[in-house]
């Protein structure tokens, strides 16, 4: 075999970021009226990813949609996605069930830097669907618990019926090695917990800003006011991290859909520090 033949074989074996690989659904559960949970496994080998990355899910004949991975690589060869039904592809995914197959491209983007957080305290603040990408880092940290300091998990939702991973959040609270607090904006007759916006939970926790990282993921209005709370507590801008979503499409920085002043969220993100987000916003 010539060197050219060897190079061709290597090229053929290398997965293309533009071609979907096939994944089989191991479990599919409707979590809320609009969110569906999937546990999947690649058919040609494990999906190697880091907490905070995302994949592009293909429904053949319809299109594809970028979805954050909500599991941790510590879980083995399976990976998990939480899909909100908001468009053609994501609405079609509501019909997919155990045993069905999907196309998957990726993983794409950067990830939460869990190494730089080792030995430090971490506050997770997740609002609504923001719990999905945050869960990838939460589960990683809890699986590597001895590597980190105090862990605080703050979860918020509009109403109790919109809370994601409700049973799992309760399990985190029962562990005894994490301070877990949940709130809803509006309660119903069944709700016995905190009521109010998620920023109110900051008054119930203790923070040492000199050794604390804050991971904040949620809708823009929540992110804005939660960042203000974190800054007021003395947490530096470079220790406040988030995961952004901005109309991502191709996943490789080619289509330009997610560009912000020359930065491609799908390639340079989706994980940014607040210091970086502030520079993007101000055009620095």
The number of beta carbons lying within 10 Å of the beta carbon of residue 124 is 24
Share above pLDDT 90 across residues of the chain, in percent, rounded to a whole number: 81
Q: In terms of DSSP bridges, do strands 259-260 and 54-59 run parallel, antiparallel, or are they unpaired?
A: unpaired
| Angle of helix 166-175 versus helix 131-143 axis, rounded to 10 | 30
SS3 of 66, please?
Answer: strand
pLDDT of 5 above 50 = no
Q: In terms of DSSP bridges, do strands 240-243 and 212-217 run parallel, antiparallel, or are they unpaired?
A: parallel
**Domain final position from 79, 108, 137:** 108
Could you report the per-residue pLDDT of 174-183, keeping only the tens digit for each?
Answer: 999 999 999 9
Distance CA 224, CA 221 (A): 5
* Interior angle at CA 63, CA 61 and CA 68, nearest 5: 140
pLDDT at position 10: 42
Residue 229 shares a structural domain with residue 158 = yes
Distance CA 44, CA 64 (A): 20
Any domain includes 281: no
**Mean pLDDT for the chain overall:** 92
Any domain includes 255: no
Could you report the per-residue pLDDT of 139-158, keeping only the tens digit for each?
Answer: 999 999 999 999 999 999 99
Residue 48 shares a structural domain with residue 93 = yes
Query: Which residues partner with 259 through β-bridges?
Result: 264
Domain of 199, CATH number, reads: 3.40.50.80
Give φ, ψ of 76 to 5 degrees: 95, -145
Any domain includes 62: yes
Cβ(183)–Cβ(195) below 8 Å: yes
pLDDT at position 14: 56
Cβ(114)–Cβ(138) below 8 Å: no
The number of beta carbons lying within 10 Å of the beta carbon of residue 279 is 15
Could you report the per-residue pLDDT of 39-49, keeping only the tens digit for each?
Answer: 999 999 999 99
Cβ(208)–Cβ(123) below 8 Å: no
Distance CA 46, CA 60 (A): 21
Any domain includes 129: yes
**Domain final position from 86, 108, 130:** 108
Residue 229 shares a structural domain with residue 167 = yes
Q: Could you tell me which residues come within 8 angstroms of residue 146 by beta carbon, excluding any fewer than 6 positions away? A: none
Residue 80 shares a structural domain with residue 192 = no
Any domain includes 260: no
Residue 68 shares a structural domain with residue 182 = no
91, two tokens: 């609405």
Distance CA 33, CA 12 (A): 42
Band of residue 280 on the pLDDT scale cut at 50, 70, 90: confident
Residue 131 shares a structural domain with residue 230 = yes
Could you report the per-residue pLDDT of 56-88, keeping only the tens digit for each?
Answer: 999 999 999 999 999 999 999 999 999 999 999
Any domain includes 262: no
pLDDT at position 11: 43
Distance CA 241, CA 51 (A): 13
Any domain includes 185: yes
Domain of 69, CATH number, reads: 2.40.30.10
User: What is the count of structural domains for the chain?
Assistant: 2
pLDDT of 9 above 70 = no
Give φ, ψ of 133 to 5 degrees: -65, -30
Residue 59 shares a structural domain with residue 137 = no
Any domain includes 216: yes
**Domain final position from 80, 108, 136:** 108
Residue 11 shares a structural domain with residue 35 = yes
Confidence (pTM): 0.92
Q: Which domain holds residue 229?
A: 121-243
Residue 88 shares a structural domain with residue 130 = no
Residue 175 shares a structural domain with residue 201 = yes
Residue 72 shares a structural domain with residue 171 = no
Q: Which residue has the tokens 């659904």?
A: 25
Could you report the per-residue pLDDT of 203-249, keeping only the tens digit for each?
Answer: 999 999 999 999 999 998 999 999 999 999 999 999 999 998 767 88
Residue 125 shares a structural domain with residue 181 = yes
Band of residue 3 on the pLDDT scale cut at 50, 70, 90: very low
pLDDT at position 253: 86
pLDDT of 275 above 90 = yes
């Amino acid at each position: 075999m010539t060197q050219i033949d060897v190079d061709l074989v290597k090229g053929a074996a290398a997965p293309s970021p533009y071609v979907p690989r096939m994944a089989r659904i191991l479990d599919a559960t409707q979590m809320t009226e609009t969110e569906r949970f999937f546990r999947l496994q690649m058919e040609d080998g494990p999906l190697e990813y880091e907490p905070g990355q995302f994949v592009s899910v293909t429904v053949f004949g319809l299109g594809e949609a970028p979805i954050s991975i909500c599991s941790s690589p510590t879980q083995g060869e399976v990976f998990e996605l939480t899909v909100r039904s908001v468009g053609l592809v994501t609405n079609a995914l509501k019909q997919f069930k155990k045993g069905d197959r999907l196309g998957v491209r990726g993983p794409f983007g950067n990830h939460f830097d869990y190494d730089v957080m080792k030995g430090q305290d971490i506050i997770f603040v997740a609002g609504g669907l923001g719990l999905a990408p945050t869960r990838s880092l939460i589960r990683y940290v809890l699986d590597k618990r001895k590597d980190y300091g105090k862990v605080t998990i703050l979860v918020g939702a509009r109403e109790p019926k919109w809370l994601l991973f409700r049973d799992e959040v309760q399990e985190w609270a029962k562990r005894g090695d994490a301070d877990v607090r949940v709130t809803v904006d509006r309660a119903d007759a069944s709700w016995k917990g905190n009521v109010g916006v998620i920023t109110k939970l900051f008054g119930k926790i203790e923070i040492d800003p000199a050794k604390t990282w804050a991971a904040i993921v949620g809708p823009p209005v929540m992110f804005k006011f939660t960042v203000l709370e974190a800054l007021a507590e003395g947490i530096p801008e470079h220790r406040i991290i988030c995961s952004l979503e901005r109309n991502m499409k191709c996943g490789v920085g080619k289509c330009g859909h997610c560009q912000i002043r020359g930065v491609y969220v799908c390639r340079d993100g989706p994980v940014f520090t607040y210091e970086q987000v502030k520079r993007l916003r101000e055009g620095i």
